[in-house]
Structure 1
Amino acid sequence: MVWISILSLAAAAVSLLVCYLSIRQVKKKIQGTLDVLAEIKQGNGNRRVLAASSELTAPIAYEINDIVASYEKELASLRRAEEANKQLMTSLSHDVRTPLTTLIGYLDAVHKGVVTGREKDEYTEIARRKAYDLKEYIDALFDWFKLNSDEFMLKPEVVEAAELTRNLLIDWIPVLEDKQIAYNLEIPDQPIRVRLDTDAYGRILNNLVQNVVAHSQATEIGISVSRQDREMALLVWDNGVGMEKKDLQHIFERLYKCDQGRSQKGSGLGLAITHQLVEKMGGTITAASTPGKGTTFAVRFPLAE
């Protein structure tokens, strides 16, 4: 009996020692976690709480790491948005004030009689074109802000995409002929039903065609609508100057403008707006391009059930 008592006391002592060591280890881990959190609070978002999967505090450590990673991702997104907004304001200052100043200069020359006759007519036409360029930029700017506001809502409905595309392109025929751009339209007679917001789809198509007209230096444009498996595919291609690979990977970013070959005219918002509208309607958009040979944009939407 004495030996049993001694063994019981020894086991109890060992248990107490194990509990003490475990508590001490947990306290050490908690203090380490607090130290890491203090560094994170001071701005070091790369710190993480380290813990082996067998440790008692491991679930808490992993949860803290997930929360920190999530907040770091949001902060990085906010920083990018802040930087983009700064760039947007800089662009706004240049892209609005500069053409507005030029526009006023031409109109003042006409108003004060500095130019007369044929030169006056030329100044008036230049002022008119610059006014339309300025309006196009401001429209794109308002579209961008509207698209990224909480008030923006799409109203998708099942539409016949082939006929909708055909009707939208009618207005572009005189423009393409005036610019001496040959056009190849491939739109099937068979209906292709897709759930779309018609205004948003119109903006997507118009932006892609406008991109060709304004920036590609193309002499030919092709636009096709087709059914591919369970998707509708809209292709817009041109035989223009094309884009380098380094430009191609950024073309859907806000304010990005290609720096070689293609026209620098424009807001840098058109393709970014197009990309957002496509995604908001559950579609995808991709681009392929070869310098000196042209560019192809492919937009795909799921067919309506």
Structure 2
Amino acid sequence: MNMFIIIMLGLICSICIFILVIQRKQLDQILEVLEAAKNGENRKVFIKDNGIVSKIAFEINGLISIHNQELSEQKRLEQVNKELLTSLSHDVRTPITSLLGYLDAIESGIVSGDERDKYIQIARKKAYDLRRLVDSLFDWFKIDSKELILILNDTDICELTKEIVIDWLPALEQKGITPKIEIPDDEWIVELDISAYKRIVSNLIQNALEHSSCNHINVVLKKNDGIISIVVKDDGIGIAKDKLPHIFERLYKGDMSRSRQSSGLGLSIVKELTKMHGGRIIAKSELAEYTEFNIELPIYKR
């Protein structure tokens, strides 16, 4: 009987030692994977049993996966921000160089009379182009850093939209673009951040004015089933179907013929501000026919 107990104890000890050796190997594997993860390598722990070490390995694999996703996103954002700064440095430098050229010509007296007045008008336009570019940059960084907080107020969207379009009439007339406005005289109350809404509509009108080569712009307000739609449509050159899904991406400029004086931020700002209002934006286009942006916002109900 004593011999049997000794044998059993020896067997149990052997099993325990065997388990400890296996668990030591498993822990060494976990440690190796963690060291690799610290060095940026994407590896996983593979343990077959269903014990506590296996559960720990499963949780570690989950943490490593999250870490790798966050690391990948961080690298992507760093690259995007690098591209943004590179693009904007070029976009800012171009109007500044041009502006200084016109101002230097005026200052040195190279031009005079009507030509001098023309140079002043061009310099003024370049200054406004530069201001719009800087405004877009500040808007985007506020949105991207989550620092932009909307101040929502009950607002008559019909009256506000009319005011925005009226502000754009001189620019449209200068470009020879005929506006067609279909905005009801009714009072439609929506919770809006007035400044952000002005930016949304203005960016869409500016996009059509500068890049579509259109003759007409339609601005339409309509409502249906608790949704108000703001439609901005032009009869310009349109956007190719393979490029349409990308137009709201940051820095996307499409082909170079549509990217003059463009930061590639305007439409991405429109999309983000629309989302912050609880709405969505839909784009449709046909080459050489039209481009249409439809913003849908929920109606505020008293």
- After TM superposition, the score normalised by the length of structure 2 is 0.87
Of the three residues 89, 96, 99, the one matched with 1:93 is 89
Give the 3-state SS of the residue equivalent to 1:23 in structure 2: helix
Query: Is the deviation greater in 31-40 or in 219-228?
Result: 219-228
Query: Is the deviation greater in 100-109 or in 175-184?
Result: 175-184
Unaligned runs of 5+ in 1: none
- After TM superposition, the score normalised by the length of structure 1 is 0.86
Cα RMSD over matched residues?
2.7
In the alignment of these two chains, the number of paired residues is 301
CA deviation profile, 1:15-43 (whole Å, cap 9, x unmatched): 55554444333322221111111111111
The question of 1:156 aligning with 2:152 is answered: yes
Matches within 5 A, 1:67-86: 67-86=63-82
Is the contact made by 1:161 and 1:192 (CA closer than 8 Å) also made in structure 2? Answer: yes
Query: Shift of residue 208 of structure 1?
Result: 0.8
Of the three residues 172, 176, 181, the one matched with 1:176 is 172
Structure 1's 219 and 109: CA in aligned 2 closer, same or farther, altered over 3 A?
Answer: same
The question of 1:194 aligning with 2:190 is answered: yes
> C-alpha distance in 2, partners of 1:24/1:79?
40
Residue 293 of structure 1 aligns with which residue?
A: 289
Residue 32 of structure 1 aligns with which residue?
A: 29
CA deviation profile, 1:29-75 (whole Å, cap 9, x unmatched): 2211111111111111x222234583433332232222222222222
Give the 3-state SS of the residue equivalent to 2:263 in structure 1: coil
Structure 1's 16 and 229: CA in aligned 2 closer, same or farther, altered over 3 A?
Answer: farther
AA in 2 matched with 1:215? H
Give the 3-state SS of the residue equivalent to 1:245 in structure 2: coil
CA deviation profile, 1:233-284 (whole Å, cap 9, x unmatched): 2222212111123432322222221215424222222112222212222222
> C-alpha distance in 1, partners of 2:92/2:276?
29
Of the three residues 227, 234, 238, the one matched with 2:234 is 238
Is the contact made by 1:217 and 1:262 (CA closer than 8 Å) also made in structure 2? Answer: no
> C-alpha distance in 1, partners of 2:163/2:33?
61
Q: Equivalent pairs: percent with the same residue?
A: 42
Give the 3-state SS of the residue equivalent to 1:159 in structure 2: strand
Structure 1's 301 and 64: CA in aligned 2 closer, same or farther, altered over 3 A?
Answer: farther
Structure 1's 6 and 166: CA in aligned 2 closer, same or farther, altered over 3 A?
Answer: farther
Is the contact made by 1:216 and 1:263 (CA closer than 8 Å) also made in structure 2? Answer: no
Give the 3-state SS of the residue equivalent to 1:232 in structure 2: strand
AA in 1 matched with 2:284? A
Query: Is the deviation greater in 185-194 or in 100-109?
Result: 185-194
Of the three residues 98, 115, 125, the one matched with 1:119 is 115
Is the contact made by 1:192 and 1:227 (CA closer than 8 Å) also made in structure 2? Answer: no
Query: Shift of residue 209 of structure 1?
Result: 1.0
AA in 1 matched with 2:32? D
Structure 1's 156 and 69: CA in aligned 2 closer, same or farther, altered over 3 A?
Answer: farther
Unaligned runs of 5+ in 2: none
Is the contact made by 1:110 and 1:123 (CA closer than 8 Å) also made in structure 2? Answer: yes
Query: Is the deviation greater in 61-70 or in 202-211?
Result: 61-70
Structure 1's 121 and 165: CA in aligned 2 closer, same or farther, altered over 3 A?
Answer: closer
Structure 1's 285 and 64: CA in aligned 2 closer, same or farther, altered over 3 A?
Answer: farther
Residue 20 of structure 2 aligns with which residue?
A: 23
Is the contact made by 1:239 and 1:293 (CA closer than 8 Å) also made in structure 2? Answer: yes
Residue 55 of structure 2 aligns with which residue?
A: 59
AA in 2 matched with 1:204? I
Residue 280 of structure 1 aligns with which residue?
A: 276
CA deviation profile, 1:65-116 (whole Å, cap 9, x unmatched): 2222222222222222222222233223322223222222222222222223
Of the three residues 211, 221, 227, the one matched with 2:217 is 221
Give the 3-state SS of the residue equivalent to 1:222 in structure 2: strand
The question of 1:43 aligning with 2:36 is answered: no
> C-alpha distance in 1, partners of 2:220/2:135?
27
Query: Shift of residue 215 of structure 1?
Result: 1.0
Give the 3-state SS of the residue equivalent to 1:256 in structure 2: coil
> C-alpha distance in 2, partners of 1:6/1:289?
90
Of the three residues 205, 220, 227, the one matched with 1:209 is 205
Is the contact made by 1:258 and 1:264 (CA closer than 8 Å) also made in structure 2? Answer: no
> C-alpha distance in 2, partners of 1:8/1:303?
82
Give the 3-state SS of the residue equivalent to 2:52 in structure 1: coil
